[in-house]
Structure 1
Amino acid sequence: MEGKILKAVSDAVEKGIEVAVVTVLEVKGSSPGKEGSMMAVFSDGSIIGTVGGGALEYEIIQESLKAINKNSSCEKSFELTETGNLHMKCGGFIRVYIKIFAKREKLLIMGGGHLGAELYTLGKFLNKYVVIFDDREEFINKERFPKADELIFGKMEETVKNYSIDENSYIIIVTRGHENDKQCLKAILDKKISPKYIGMVGSKGKVISTYKELLSEGYSKEELKEIYSPIGLDISNSEPKEIALGIMAEIIAVKNKKIAIHMKDIRKIDVDNLI
């Protein structure tokens, strides 16, 4: 049964489903649960496995769902007495550990060209769930992106409209042209969602031109202020590898709510006064 539970957990995580794994650590006295018992609780409330059933298991499921919502693993203890929170007559005690397996962060790359390919490599290196969008068959196939989690072929502004995007998503718009970039951005803004990051490639002049067009079409200044464009940190030259690294560095800074500052400037080691 443990192997079945672990496989179900692995499959869920790969699909972006949050799950909690409950393991019984300690049992004292009479209890429906046994030490070492395991149960997986999925974000929709479904389960596989058991830690004893009944009121105890129901309470553990509720605590697991709370832990999933908080994205925080935890340890919980339950007194199985009439005066305990479960009002049970077993007279025992049980302690469990709830381990959370959160969604993998999704990296959505709009465009499978040279820059998109470099971003894909860095995304997989950072263990992101990488999705490539493109409307050119030669730029979106398993030979080019062998480890991509999803390859979405078709008109990009249309396919992204139907793609599930949430607050755990990071979107990079690097299509083959200015107009395609704009149309993809419009499609994403029209979804009225709040992903962690939306970045769009382009020079300052092209970005200003795009923003003016979007404002004239009814998009708000507040929406445009949330976009990272021109994209990336100013650390690269014109090589796709370095540009991609600057973009991923910006994404990591956003993810961790950091400002890109040299560590030497944060630590401020006074070399002159070292003995």
Structure 2
Amino acid sequence: MESKIMQEIAKRIDLGEKVALVTLISVNGSSPGKSGNIMGVFFDKTTLGTIGGGNLEFQVINSALEAMKIGENREFEFSLKADGKLDMICGGKVKGYIKVFQRRKKLIIAGGGHLGLDLYKLGKYLKMYTVIIDDREEYVTENRFPQADELLCGDIGEILENYPLDDSSYLVIVTRGHLGDKSALRSTVGRKAAYIGMIGSRKKVVESYRNLIKEGLEKNDLLDIYSPIGLDISSGDPAEIALGIMAEILKVKNNGTGKHMKEVKTINL
């Protein structure tokens, strides 16, 4: 059973889900669970395995779900006496640990051209879950993106409209043209995502935003978009532009300053 639990946890992590592993590390006295018992708790509230059942397991599952929400590991300790918090009569005491496995950060690239390819390479280097979306079949192939986790072909706006975005999602809009970028942005602006960026000149961005506001989109939601995209570090070469975009994503992901490290760390000679 333990191997089955660990395999399911690994599978869920690869799919980009949050997962918690519960382990009983100490059992003193009578208890429905034994030291070393493990249980997988998943963000959809399903579980695999058991640490003994009853109110103990119910409370620990809720604690694991809370731990996943805030992204922190935690310990737990319960008395199983009648006058304890769990109102159980086993008479023992248990201690355990909840290990939270954070979901992999997901890089969603709308556009499989040269820039999309360079972004994909950087995303895989950073061990991100990568999704490539394009409306051209030849640009979303396994030959072009051999390690992509998802390859989606079709109308980019429609795909993104139905694609789940959350606080682990980093979306980069770099389609083959202005209309594709605008369609992708229309489908995602205002939705919950850690980062949404769109390529384009300042003039193009202003024009796109004004048109989308006329269509009813909120100005403040549009101003949250990272566009023009990336940090100002490239010469204009696609690979360097991609690096500037990933640098901006890391700045957002890690809540960094974007400053030179020599400005952050004082050197005393």
- TM-score bracket relative to the smaller structure: over 0.9
Matched, 1:202 2:184: no
Q: Which residue of structure 1 aligns with residue 260 of structure 2?
A: 262
- Residue 257 of structure 1: CA displacement? 1.8
Partner amino acid, structure 2, of 1:139: Y
| CA distance in 2 between partners of 1:251 and 1:167 (Å) | 13
Q: Which residue of structure 2 aligns with residue 175 of structure 1?
A: 175
Which secondary structure state, in structure 2, belongs to the residue aligned with residue 48 of structure 1?
strand
- Residue 9 of structure 1: CA displacement? 0.7
Which secondary structure state, in structure 2, belongs to the residue aligned with residue 9 of structure 1?
helix
Query: What is the correspondence of 1:5-24 to structure 2 with a 5 Å cutoff?
Result: 5-24=5-24
- Please point out which of 237, 240, 250 is paired with 1:239: 237
| CA distance in 2 between partners of 1:212 and 1:52 (Å) | 59
Partner amino acid, structure 2, of 1:45: K
Could you list the per-position Cα deviations for residues 139-190 of structure 1 after superposition, in whole angstroms to 9, with x for gaps in the alignment?
Answer: 110001111110010011111111111222111000111121112111212x
Which secondary structure state, in structure 2, belongs to the residue aligned with residue 85 of structure 1?
coil
Structure 1 gap ranges (5+)? none
| CA distance in 1 between partners of 2:89 and 2:183 (Å) | 64
Q: Report how many residues are paired.
A: 269
| CA distance in 2 between partners of 1:126 and 1:23 (Å) | 30
**RMSD over equivalenced CA pairs, Å:** 1.3
Partner amino acid, structure 1, of 2:227: S
Could you list the per-position Cα deviations for residues 14-43 of structure 1 after superposition, in whole angstroms to 9, with x for gaps in the alignment?
Answer: 223222111111111111111111111112
Partner amino acid, structure 1, of 2:154: G
Identity of aligned residues (%): 50
| CA distance in 2 between partners of 1:69 and 1:149 (Å) | 24
- Residue 104 of structure 1: CA displacement? 1.6
| CA distance in 2 between partners of 1:9 and 1:86 (Å) | 28
More displaced 10-residue stretch of structure 1: 141-150 or 156-165: 156-165
Which secondary structure state, in structure 2, belongs to the residue aligned with residue 259 of structure 1?
coil
| CA distance in 2 between partners of 1:30 and 1:185 (Å) | 58
TM-score for the superposition, normalised by structure 2: 0.96
Partner amino acid, structure 1, of 2:187: A
- Residue 194 of structure 1: CA displacement? 2.0
Which secondary structure state, in structure 1, belongs to the residue aligned with residue 162 of structure 2?
coil
| CA distance in 2 between partners of 1:131 and 1:80 (Å) | 47
Q: Which residue of structure 1 aligns with residue 112 of structure 2?
A: 112
Structure 2 gap ranges (5+)? none
| CA distance in 2 between partners of 1:47 and 1:40 (Å) | 5
Query: What is the correspondence of 1:88-107 to structure 2 with a 5 Å cutoff?
Result: 88-107=88-107
| CA distance in 2 between partners of 1:103 and 1:7 (Å) | 16
TM-score for the superposition, normalised by structure 1: 0.94
Which secondary structure state, in structure 1, belongs to the residue aligned with residue 240 of structure 2?
helix
Which secondary structure state, in structure 1, belongs to the residue aligned with residue 24 of structure 2?
strand
Q: Which residue of structure 1 aligns with residue 250 of structure 2?
A: 252
| CA distance in 2 between partners of 1:250 and 1:229 (Å) | 11
| CA distance in 2 between partners of 1:259 and 1:210 (Å) | 28
